[in-house]
Structure 1
Amino acid sequence: MYFHFSIFYVLLYFALGAIYPLLSQYLIEIGLNGTEIGLITATGAVVVLLAQPIWGILCDKTQKTKKILTYTIAIAAALGIVLSFFQQFYVLLFGFAVLYFFQGANGPIIDGIVLNHTAKSNFSFGDVRQWGSIGFALAVFVAGVLGEKLGLKIIFYIYSLFYIVALFLIKPLPSEKSNTKVQLTNGVKKLLKTPQYTLLLISVLFVFGPMNGHNVYFALLFKYLGGGISGVGLAFLLFAGSEAPIMKIANKITNKIGIVNTLLGATIISVLRWFWYSTGPSYQQILWLFMLQGLSVGLLIVTGAQYASKNAPDELRMTAMTLYSSLGLGLGSIISKLLGGIILDQYNILAVYRFFGYSSLIGFIPLLIIKYRYESRKSETI
């Protein structure tokens, strides 16, 4: 099942890597401004914020996770092709909102399936999740090269193609069902009353938001610093590629220093990274220090999901993962993408990354509270 999970992650994140890092560049090419780009990406994140808990609840209540995954991927693939034919701001705003509604279900659902399975297997979540980063890295490089030669509209077709291929791998996924009757209202209340889980949500809101915003605005930063479109592809190939080896050893790192210490360390690296980008280094320097992505984003993706799952009841694991993704990642994305677009219009791309740095610094505080108020009692290894 490890091989099957790995291929599925490659396909899923290849689709995402093909479209989102170059989307801002595409939208500028067709005449949209920074505020409009921020509104499109932020509106999508609002939809994800509202939709993901619904998908998680449906999965836990109906126990038809694979069927829901099939429908959401199929509809997102179709919408990817449809959107390539429109350039009007309001049409794209509505279209991407609908796309995000269905696409937003896929990541948390497959993460929940894998986390549930790895608890009973001889491989870790990081071993599998690394393949998503590999797929994402390859996609940005391929899309960058093809986009420069064939035009950036190609990103929509690559996205849809890889989603369609992923559909054929859903049926063999494990169908593990909970025997516990889920009391959804009480369960969600219980989740939100768990201090560690709630503090983690607050943290990732401020830390993961800039990570998602970076995927939208980095192409503009790279161009500002003198790089080209194909260079953006190379940068993301290095960035996302650096996540894979770090994710693979994430379990060893958390076993050695503790999961909360790992989250703290990765967050600090993220803070320093955004502030450094805001000083306007050369794009060559950014490429040379590509491992910063793996040491921050790579560790945060794996350990954040593991910590959220660890602090959730078994019968509400899928709800916990989608709530974590929507409130933590979704709301953070809304803030980062929308304010990023406004800051871009008022100042410049360097100011956007300065904002990312301050946001991540705020997200460091809840992790400190988790460590010194709650985890210190558990004699976590330091």
Structure 2
Amino acid sequence: MTSAVTGQRTNFVLLAITYFLYFGQLGVLVPYLGVFLDGRGFSSAEIGELFAIITIARILGPNLWASMADKSGKGLNVLRFGCLLTACTFCLVFFFDGFWGITVPFALMMMFWTAVLPQLEVLTMNTVNSNATKYSQIRLWGSIGFICLTIVAGQSIDVFSSEAPVVVSAVVLSALFLSTLTLKEPKVERPNAQELGSIWREAKSPVFFAFIVSALLLQVSFGTYYGFFALYMLDLGYSGQQTGWLVALGVAAEVVIFLLAGRLISIMGVKWVLVASLLLTAIRWLALAHYPDSVVIVVLSQVLHAFSFGLTHAASVHFIHHFFSKQFHSRGQALYVSLAFGVGGAIGNYSAGLMWQDGKGAYLSFMVSFAAACLSALVLLCISRQSMEQRASAC
């Protein structure tokens, strides 16, 4: 018994390290990819187009990988393979230049990168036996990784150049692959061949449809932030390191919310956790549109990242894992990633690129983000809490 408990705790630590590296990598690229591209001479429209193209890879990729994982029962192998190919294709950016020379390697990287998170989420939920509190305690290390590497990358830009983020990313992706080699897959009852089928018989529910539309709109609202927040701050006179600290502050707030997420979900339910978080997200974009010159407002808007990403992500993963039957867990998470982050992210990134106009359209871009977040909350308000909770517990 003691050996089993020790082994479980060891796997918890190894999962935490993997989350640290995975989201640490996002902490390098999400805030600073725009800075890197700007340094390579890309216009704001080209930056938006590149973001949209590489985000489209998140539409098809997750479902392909998840289908392989669900049918083979080898989700951990898919996770490892995805990390290896991600690192290899990412390194192509060191050998090419120009719009397509950079876009193609990033698109390939994203195609393989989409294999990682859905499998990691399923592996973690199975390891903690779907316990939302334990999941949050492991997942918060992803936020810590985001904070640490955001600060490192921001300072590296000041010390070296706008090329620094891709160098840091290459190191982190290599370490991520090595970390997956240490993970162990828990024993989970596998469905028989007759139980495997199409995910759409469960996904066609109006409750799931509303959830996905809401999640998609949320990611549309994030287009301006993901693509241009760092450039926005630099235009306002912040240094790369200060911008890094601002981004890190938002993710630090995630750490706190992840410690409370399980309790909040059990008390409020998925619906009201999401609605409250979406409305706070709308306030965040509104504040950045109207008061970008106020340091206090910018800082407070970053604190709201705890809700706009942290709590919405924890609640969404919890909902998906409980909504779908066991044989569809990987595909359910992948469907969420591909439709919400893929379609929604592509629309948000592309439209933000068109509106930004090298900073002249900042107000309009953030107001569109505000409207998208409000619509996201409105969609969920059309569904009763009871129907969401009953449907999730029925599967």
Shift of 1:208: 2.6
- 1:46 is matched with 56
- 2:116 is matched with 106
- Is 2:310 the partner of 1:295? no
Change (3 A) 1:377 1:59: closer
Moved more, 276-285 or 349-358: 276-285
- 2:17 is matched with 7
Shift of 1:92: 1.3
Q: How does 1:1-382 map to 2 (within 5 A)?
A: 1-119=11-129, 123-171=133-181, 172-181=183-192, 186-211=197-222, 213-282=224-293, 284-285=295-296, 286-345=298-357, 347-371=360-384, 374-375=387-388
Shift of 1:288: 4.5
Offset from partner CA, 1:5-38 (integer Å, 9 cap, x none): 1111001111221122101111112111111111
8 Å CA contact retained: 1:196, 1:311: no
Moved more, 216-225 or 200-209: 216-225
TM-score of the superposed pair, with normalisation by structure 2: 0.90
AA of the residue aligned to 1:36: E
AA of the residue aligned to 1:352: S
SS at structure 2 position matched to 1:173: coil
Moved more, 4-13 or 215-224: 215-224
AA of the residue aligned to 1:18: V
8 Å CA contact retained: 2:23, 2:146: yes
Offset from partner CA, 1:320-350 (integer Å, 9 cap, x none): 0001111112111001000000011285222
In structure 2, list runs of 5 or more residues that go unmatched.
1-10
Shift of 1:168: 2.5
User: What CA distance in whole angstroms lies between the structure 1 residues aligned with 2:185 and 2:389?
Assistant: 36
Shift of 1:270: 0.3
8 Å CA contact retained: 2:125, 2:131: no
User: What CA distance in whole angstroms lies between the structure 2 residues aligned with 1:160 and 1:167?
Assistant: 11
User: What CA distance in whole angstroms lies between the structure 1 residues aligned with 2:186 and 2:386?
Assistant: 38
Shift of 1:356: 1.0
Shift of 1:210: 2.6
User: What CA distance in whole angstroms lies between the structure 2 residues aligned with 1:120 and 1:348?
Assistant: 44
Number of paired residues?
A: 379
8 Å CA contact retained: 1:141, 1:230: yes
Offset from partner CA, 1:48-81 (integer Å, 9 cap, x none): 1111111110110112212211121112112222
8 Å CA contact retained: 2:278, 2:307: no
Moved more, 344-353 or 64-73: 344-353
8 Å CA contact retained: 1:209, 1:333: yes
8 Å CA contact retained: 1:211, 1:297: no
User: What CA distance in whole angstroms lies between the structure 2 residues aligned with 1:234 and 1:362?
Assistant: 30
SS at structure 1 position matched to 2:383: helix
User: What CA distance in whole angstroms lies between the structure 2 residues aligned with 1:354 and 1:233?
Assistant: 24
Shift of 1:165: 1.5
SS at structure 2 position matched to 1:187: coil
Shift of 1:186: 4.0
SS at structure 1 position matched to 2:290: coil
Moved more, 32-41 or 212-221: 212-221
Cα RMSD for the two superposed structures: 2.2
SS at structure 2 position matched to 1:76: helix
Moved more, 366-375 or 11-20: 366-375
